[in-house]
Amino acid sequence: MMQFLTKLDGLLTHIKQVENETIDLTREAQLRFVQFIEKNNLHADDATIEAMQYQDIVSQQLSASIEAIESVQAYLQYFSKAFSEDDAIAMQSIQKMDDKLGNALEKAKAKHAAFSGRLGSNEENGIEFF
């Protein structure tokens, strides 16, 4: 069991690292593209400017996913500790971990929806005045 948990933790750490690298690489790519446009006084059309904003959304989505992974890792660590100390506590911890993983998933899904903006929506006008 402990070996399984260690492998799972390692896999989550790997996913987190790949996500962080993706955030950094997409930002760097986007900034170099912007520098090229600005340095050469080029004009980006509306469709290009709209597409340029996707990096920000990708970055927010991946950051939310990293947050979810970190909370799952914290639960796994708690469970691993309980498992190594006492069987009865470990059984209780399984139930608790199940609940917490469910919460982490719900929270992650809510953030995915909140950080998607107008992407995937048919909403033409994204501006509202109060």
Partner 1 sequence: MPLVIFVDDSETALASTRMVTDSMPIEVKQYLSATDALREIKSGLTPDLIITDMNMPVMNGFEFLQELRKHASTLRTPVLMLTTETRDELKVQGKALGLTGWIVKPFNPAQLKQAIARVLRLA
Of 47, 58, 51, the residue nearest 19 (C-alpha): 58
Question: Residues 65, 68, 74, 75: is their CA dihedral positive or negative?
Answer: negative
The reply to whether 55 sits near partner 1 by the rule CB under 8 A is: yes
Looking at 17, 53, 77, 92, which residue binds partner 1 (CB under 8 A)?
Answer: 53
Mutual angle of helices 54-85 and 2-39, in 10-degree steps = 160
Q: Is residue 46 at the binding interface for partner 1, with CB under 8 A as the rule?
A: yes
Number of residues that bind partner 1 (CB under 8 A): 35
Interface residues toward partner 1, by CB under 8 A: 27, 30-31, 34, 37-38, 44, 46, 49-57, 59-60, 113-119, 121, 123-130
